[in-house]
Amino acid sequence: MGVKLQSRLEVLGIYLFILIMFVVILYPLLWVLGISLNPGTSMYSASIIPKHASLEHYKWLFTNPNSDYLLWYKNTLIVASAKTVISLIVVLFFAYAFSRYQFVGRKNTLYVLMLIKIFPVLMGMVAIYILLSLIGLLDSLVGLILVYVGTSIPTHAFLVKGYFDTIPRDLDEAAKIDGAGHFRIFFQILLPLAVPIISVVALFNFMTPFMDFLLPSIVIRSPENYTLAVGLYNMVNHEFGNTFTRFAAGSILIAVPIAAVFLFFQRYLISGLTSGASKS
């Protein structure tokens, strides 16, 4: 009886912890949603979701001539899509080479990548700024995309390499006996089996430009090149804090493409996140 009671208490404690975490995570989201639906510029209402909820702030973002929200959204989608595609191509070929082949400098390169992962991107901001200025890509979406791709390669390459290492090499050998070349093995055997980790890497790459403020604020100067994070910040800053309701509406809409990508890859994400332990 005592064992059963202890087991029930443990289960109750787990559910209580999950409930507390759910409230901690959900409440700020509901609060921002309530602000976005609150008419006028007030950030406060009697309830989380205001009684006289209105979509006027969402309408303003898309229809007002003074709003550049659609431009910011387009820029962010361009950066996110390009970053995802280019990063995936580079990371997949990099991981395949380091997982399946032995060559001079392989281990040293892996050690260097591990060392790069230790240091935050913030440490290289001055160098990145100077480099982009020298090659004429400062204040451009192309420069921002290249920086994003470069900074994402070390971490994601290790994830994908670790996943490739878990795929038996016997499949490669069997394919070679049947006359398959390296590219055929890569595209027809490894990639279909690596869909879970590819989904995780694609989601992480796609999310970053929507969430990141620091890097775009350093690289981008022209309002026509603003991403969502920089554009929304400047909208609030230039209006002396009187447009937080519009800011909240714009922030809520950021989640739409991320949620779409998440739902698209949903069935692969769990297995991808629990795989890919690094091996060298």
pLDDT tens-place string over residues 94-150? 999 988 888 888 888 878 877 777 777 777 888 888 999 999 999 999 999 999 998
Quote the tokens at residue 208. Answer: 């970053």
Rounded Cα distance, 194 and 276, in Å: 10
Q: How many residues does the chain have?
A: 280
**75 DSSP 8-state letter:** H
Rounded Cα distance, 115 and 55, in Å: 49
Predicted confidence at residue 277, as pLDDT, reads 42
| CB atoms inside a 10 Å sphere around CB 243 | 19
Quote the tokens at residue 229. Answer: 């994070």
Which among 83, 92, 84, 81 has a CA at the least distance from the CA of 191? 92
Whether this model's pTM surpasses 0.95: no
Rounded Cα distance, 83 and 152, in Å: 9
pLDDT in tens, 68-97: 999 999 999 999 999 999 999 999 999 999
62: alpha, beta or left? (left if phi > 0; alpha if psi -120 to 50):
alpha
